[in-house]
Chain A
Amino acid sequence: MDFLETLLNGLSLGGTYAIIALGYTMVYGIAKMLNFAHGDIIMVGSYIIWFTFLRLDCHPSISIALAIICCVILGIVIERLAYRPLRGAPSLAVLITAIGVSSLLQGLPAILDTISKSSNNSALKEKLSGILNPLPIQDMVHTNKLVLFGVEFPISISALVTILITVATMIALTVFIKKSKTGKAMVAVSENRDAALLMGIHINKIIVVTFAIGSALAGVAATLMLTKGTPASPSFGALPGIVAFSAAVIGGIGSIPGAALGGFLIGILETFCNANSALSPYRNAIVFSVLIIILLFKPSGILGNPRREKV
């Protein structure tokens, strides 16, 4: 039973990675850029949930909805101000800008923190330190095991919910892209931007929609990560972001099932490493080694299609 429990926990962690990876893969597939700041949008989302839920006593569903809305607005603003001016510029420049946006976002809570520490206004001080020193949200975490018809299953309710949300999101996204007009336009932009433009597709609009969807997923990911008990912090999204990007790359960047597959694989790998005391300190090293090996032997990932450079 121990193996099964680890596997299910792995699936749950993998579900979170998959949701983050979906955000990366959507943006990478359509805007052709690595949105390095994606993890930090998650971080902002986690602060908003924490603040509204514990400080303002909002209902969890309202605080989650608020977080998602804020993430979407933030994503669109970042796209408009930092990325759109660089449309058509070398990819190296876009990537460096994304790195800049990432460290900008990470710096903001730290600035609030120093203000709260140095401020003389005690009311402001208390408010800010309340935002900045979050504790894990115990109330949101259902660590109880699932019990159905009197049988205890080796999975917690929150883990099960994570897996269900991941699968549901993946199906919804796939249907959206296959069936809706906007989704088809997204595929067109991803395949050939110039041709899509000639077909009367508004490239900028499509890319904004992509960023909005990606950032909404970041809000969802923030919720899932908080339910696992991690407290919000400035570097909340950085490492999971990079791991999830690796997952997207392993699964095949630009591919929705690929992101989910990569996310689950990495999640399971990490959980099994964690369960083994000899391997657990090296879990990140192992995950990244797998990334490097897969990239070397199959640079387009497991489900991605290889692209040739036209000569």
Chain B
Amino acid sequence: MAKYTENDRIFDENGREIVLKTEHLSISFGGLKAVNDVNLEIKKGQLYGLIGPNGAGKTTVFNLLTGIYKPTEGKIFLCGEDITGLDPIKINKAGIARTFQNIRLFSNLTVLENVMVGLSNQIKCSVAESILRLPRHSKSEKDFRKSAHELLKLFTLDEYADQLASNLPYGKQRKLEIARAMATNPTLLLLDEPAAGMNPNETQELMNDISYIRKHFDMTILLIEHDMRLVSGICEQLTVLNFGTELAKGDTSEVLNDPEVVKAYLGE
């Protein structure tokens, strides 16, 4: 592919920016290569799927991308910036936000506060300013509340604003996790099995939500999913992982019809 770069940012031949690029991404635990030579290339605004059987290393790829694990080999670039080996806080500031397979909300905080925590780095106010209640504190709190309410409205969660996150129904908790991730103002959103445990109606609602986020924020999304209806419904391109290595990648319809992929999923 013919590519050109500008101020470290990488573009493909059509002038579309490449938001995430990994080169030979690998990690081993002890002797086990959990992820081996994974090369992703996700373009601006794309909805990219990462699929594969259980234990294929999908979530490990997410943990590598968000800095929870450090890769033993390979590089990760976000908008051309090398973020390999940075810690999760810096990676979040660089622009990657994520959700978790097993929901990780701040369960003793309210729905609104969960989103406000996500907004923490967007609105500045020092510890001293807060303790002394200087003017910037009340202004920042107003901003926090306003932005959080706006986000919740977009996700139709505003009615639950004052409820504890742990009291939300399951589907709403997943939604809140996405809202909280969006609050950190990411350039790339990682969704780890967003439809896990959802019924068909909830999955349909989730698909609508994801398409909406994509359009409304012009967001680039990488998602892990087992629900093939969802994957074939909204993903443009896929990478299939099996035993930590890339089995196939390309446009969704092609990949899903690849006999190798079918074999990996269904056995022979």
A and B touch in the complex (CB under 8 A): yes
**Is A311's CB within 8 Å of the partner chain B?**
yes
Taken together as a complex, chains A and B put the C-alpha atoms of A311 and B100 apart, in Å, by 8
Residues of A within 8 A of B59 (CB): 311
Residues of B within 8 A of A311 (CB): 59, 63, 68, 100
Interface bracket on B = under 10
Closest Cβ of chain A to B91, distance in Å, is 14
Taken together as a complex, chains A and B put the C-alpha atoms of A273 and B100 apart, in Å, by 50
Taken together as a complex, chains A and B put the C-alpha atoms of A311 and B63 apart, in Å, by 8
A273-311 CB mask vs B (1 if < 8 Å, else 0) is: 000000000000000000000000000000000000001
Closest Cβ of chain A to B19, distance in Å, is 23
How many CB-defined contacts (below 8 Å) exist between A and B? 4
Taken together as a complex, chains A and B put the C-alpha atoms of A311 and B68 apart, in Å, by 8
- Chain B residues 190-230 with CB under 8 Å of chain A are none
Chain A: CB-nearest residue to B62: A311
Taken together as a complex, chains A and B put the C-alpha atoms of A302 and B246 apart, in Å, by 39
Chain A: CB-nearest residue to B59: A311
Closest Cβ of chain A to B240, distance in Å, is 22
- Chain A residues 100-136 with CB under 8 Å of chain B are none
Closest Cβ of chain B to A161, distance in Å, is 43
Chain A: CB-nearest residue to B60: A311
Chain A: CB-nearest residue to B68: A311
Taken together as a complex, chains A and B put the C-alpha atoms of A301 and B68 apart, in Å, by 23
Closest Cβ of chain A to B170, distance in Å, is 20
B157-198 CB mask vs A (1 if < 8 Å, else 0) is: 000000000000000000000000000000000000000000
Closest Cβ of chain B to A307, distance in Å, is 12
- Chain B residues 230-267 with CB under 8 Å of chain A are none
| B contact set with A: CB distance below 8 Å | 59, 63, 68, 100
**What would be 4 A-B contacts, judged by CB atoms less than 8 Å apart?**
A311-B59, A311-B63, A311-B68, A311-B100
